[in-house]
A and B are shown apart, each in its own frame.
Chain A
Amino acid sequence: MKGLRFLLSRAIQGLIVMFGVSLLVFFALFLTGDPAVLMMAPDSTAQEIAEFREAMGFNDPIIVQYGRFLAGALHGDLGNSLRYSRPAMDLLTERLGATALLALSALLWSSLLGFLLGAIAAVRRNSPIDFAIRVISLLGQAVPVFWLALMLIILFSLNLRWLPSSGYGSFEHLIMPSLALGAYYLSAITRLVRSSLIETLGENYIRTARAKGLTEWRIVVRHALRNAMIPVVTLQGMYLASLMGGALVTEIIFAWPGIGRLAVEAIQNRDFPVVQAVVLFAALVFVVANFLVDVAYTWLNPRIRL
């Protein structure tokens, strides 16, 4: 019962967050100026611009425009893209698949490798191999994704000619964007697994397991890793949520037809409805992911309560 009340309060908090985001998204864009001028051809007359502004509803009081926006958003209607003349939601959902594919593949390989490297580093703590893994994971987080992406292109496309430099549609197209994007997460997950595992390996029940004469790998895999996973899974949930909002830099460099590229182009062209749709979507994914993590917490660890 207590758990249910906790979840209910988290859900209400999530709704409040979404309302706040909708306010921010709506008003922030209006601070940047008159979209009608930008949308029309440079040699349009003032009258044509005025007519366009009127037709798009930019002349109504801003609070009326917000009300219209909110009512539409609740029905999944965020208006038509100014640039594509198509529903912003359609543009978003069309690109969801590409973004999800990139996000999941990047997170998958970085998680698998991250667990492995983290475990090795924890078990061989303070050994040369631990040191090497720590340096690599530090580098992975320090290197900017655009630099790594360009290096990958130069190596695998320009010099070796193994992989297509950009585009979408086949497994080969996925490799470099996924590597570039996952490098950061690989580092983060490796470090978290390592520190979490080191902490767990110091627990009493591990000592008991050792006393039973189990092999070190068996202890790590069977007993320690499972408990060390809780913070890691939380982290992955958050990473996945942020990745689903689109990987801006990676998608641009590799011409990946995902949400991040849609967002960047919409911002450049001041395509209000699309920007709003992307930001609202990203916020929604975050709130939902947060909520699911809370659910997982109450389920995994009954001690967690507010």
Chain B
Amino acid sequence: MKHLPAFALGLALALPATVTFAQDDTLVIGRSASTNALDPGFLREAATIVDNIFDTMVMRDEDMNLVPGLATEWTAVDDTTWEFKLREGVVFHNGEPFDAEAVKFSLDRVLDPENKAPTISYIRTIESVEVVDPMTVRIKTTAADPLLPTRMSRYPAYIVPPKYIEEHGRDHFANNPVGTGAYTFVDFVPDERVTLEANPDYWRGTPDIKTVVWRPIPDATARITSLITGEVGLIEDVPVDLVPLLQQTPDADLVQVKNGGLTIYLGLRMDKAPLDNVKVRQALNHAIDRESITTNLLGGLATPKGTQVGAADFGYLDVEVQAYDPELSRQLLAEAGFEDGFEITMQSSFRYMKNAEVAQTIAQQFEDIGLTVNQQTMEWSVYTQTVPFEGPIYMLGWGSTQTLDTDAAVYAIMKSGEPYSGARIPELDALLDKSRSTVDPEAREQILFDIQTLASEQVPLITLYQEDKLMGKAPNVDFEGRADARIPVFDIEMD
């Protein structure tokens, strides 16, 4: 009797514990967030999983070029009309044929205000979708929209089966999705897993990996552990401070997608003094030592930048990173009439890589040029409701990795009056508007260049650096990560 505790403990430890490790043709992917539902038209999260079940008319290859998907070609018929020729012989997983009606149905249900699609803004420029013949669709836009093909390459523009949804309803569809994609749906257990199986009839060929299991593992340490132990083969979201864990073990590799993350910037409220003064903004811009922050604080996992636009985006201009020059900053402040500096509030959250430490460092560098900085660090859900209404300086990250166009990188954060913009520069507003109504690619690209040049002079916001996207993988998984953050299992190989 006396030995019972030891015995019980021994029993608990000695139980046959057979951990199921991944098999050769099964890839388990660990994600940080749980999946809510799998209807690609009504997502409230990244489209990572549904991207493997559904296809879009336009797709992106590994180098982020737009390539034919369910549409074989597309042309601008006039300024406000795009025509898409569809791929013949494609069927949904349930056997339903893919045709122009399916495209119209897929877009119309997102556009229907009754349905309150959370991502309607991504395709808001569409006025109507017309079926010309079974394999031809015309999309009319409310104004000229050069980005329409790009919009057709991402959610919510995945093509869904009309008959299946009409028959079973949207709720059933969200939990039992049917698409044309490389993988067919097997099961979805909330908070536990989503299982997919290779679609043998996929129009691009049969995928190598037979089974994909997506597992939500919210805790980062647990996620990395499960990768090292071989329980999962690929993980998303590796926090900077846990990177050494992956670098030290031979059982897992760090996947560093250069410039695959958000571009971090300081938003500036320009409707009030002193940030309405361009010299003050320039002074702040030169006061920050970006190189030191990305090298010393972020361990080289981010790159200093001179523009908000990503290197893979259409319209990217290689703007030089603002020089770190506190002497110049002090001089600019003096010219603006602030020899003795001023007091200002800077807000930040805990969302981005070492967010609090970076904010602390920048505040210190602002103090070095004579400012008094009140730092406010807030929990994210509170922060999103404060920014950019308070400021006057606020730290945010913005990304264009889904659209890969300058417009997505700048418009919402630089145009006067946009919910996330603190900028008030009429000249910039005019250029931004012009870029949205110019369809000719070359003319438009020039305008996008001008926007970035003007932004580097006028400082509507202070661009800091772009984070890398960090993932982890097992040594036998061949995946380098993608700039658009997708995980197309069809393209992944395992040996």
Binding site for B on A (CB under 8 A): 32-34, 37-46, 48-49, 51-52, 55, 83-86, 91, 94-95, 109, 112-113, 116-117, 120, 150, 153-154, 157-158, 161-169, 171-172, 175, 179, 217, 252-255, 257-258, 261-262, 264-265, 268-270
Contact = CB atoms under 8 A, between A and B. Distances in A.
A75 B171 CA distance: 22
Contact of A257 (B120, B190, B226): B190
Contacts of B34: 261, 265
Contacts of B223: 166
A255 B121 contact: no
Which 9 pairs between the two chains have the least Cβ-Cβ distance?
A257-B191, A33-B385, A165-B225, A255-B217, A162-B17, A165-B226, A253-B219, A84-B36, A166-B222
B215 A172 contact: no
Contacts of B1: 217
A261 B191 contact: yes
A94 B189 CA distance: 10
Interface string B290-303: 00000000000000
Contacts of B4: 116
A37 B116 contact: no
B36 A83 contact: yes
B239 to A, nearest CB: 14
Nearest to B4: A116
A45 B419 CA distance: 7
B4, B381, B382, B418: most-surrounded residue (chain A CB, <10 A): B381
A40 B118 contact: yes
Interface in B50-105: none
Interface string B374-387: 00000011101100
B222 A165 contact: yes
Contact of A171 (B15, B191, B419): B15
Nearest to B122: A41
Contact of B37 (A45, A85, A172, A175): A85
Interface in B175-199: 189-192
Contacts of A51: 113, 116
Contacts of B219: 166, 252-255
A175 B12 contact: yes
B314 to A, nearest CB: 18
B42 interface: yes
B135 to A, nearest CB: 32
B222 A153 contact: yes
A34 B121 contact: no
A157 B229 contact: yes
Contacts of A265: 33-34, 218
A41 B37 contact: no
Centre residue among A83, A95, A166, A253 by max chain B CB count within 10 A: A166
B98 to A, nearest CB: 26
12 contacts: A42-B419, A51-B113, A86-B171, A116-B4, A150-B221, A164-B229, A165-B226, A167-B217, A172-B15, A217-B1, A253-B219, A262-B191
B187 to A, nearest CB: 12
Contacts of B231: 164-167
Contacts of B385: 33-34, 37-38
Interface in B342-396: 380-382, 384-385
Given A34-B385, A162-B17, A167-B215, A113 B222 contact: no
A168 B192 contact: yes
Interface residues of B, number: 53
B44 A42 contact: no
Which one of B42, B219, B382, B418 has the greatest number of beta carbons of chain A within 10 Å? B219
Given A167-B192, A255-B216, 14 more contacts: A41-B119, A43-B418, A45-B419, A84-B190, A95-B190, A117-B5, A120-B2, A161-B229, A162-B19, A164-B19, A164-B20, A166-B219, A255-B218, A261-B218
Contacts of A257: 189-192
Interface of B: 1-2, 4-5, 8, 12-13, 15, 17-20, 33-34, 36-37, 42, 44, 113, 116, 118-122, 171, 174, 189-192, 215-219, 221-223, 225-226, 228-229, 231, 380-382, 384-385, 412, 418-420
A153 B226 CA distance: 9
A94 B190 contact: yes
Contacts of A169: 192
A264 B229 CA distance: 27
Given A32-B382, A257-B189, A257-B192, A55 B116 contact: yes
Contact of A45 (B8, B33, B121, B216): B121
Nearest to B119: A41
B420 A42 contact: yes
Contacts of A86: 37, 171
A34 B419 CA distance: 14
B262 to A, nearest CB: 12
Contacts of A43: 121, 412, 418-420
B8 A113 contact: yes
Contact of A253 (B2, B44, B222): B222
A255 B384 contact: no
B120 A48 contact: yes
Nearest to B419: A46
A270 B120 CA distance: 21
Contacts of B380: 268
Contacts of B384: 37-38
A254 B37 contact: no
Nearest to B226: A165
Nearest to B44: A83
A113 B6 CA distance: 10
A158 B225 contact: yes
A257 B436 CA distance: 45
A161 B13 CA distance: 12
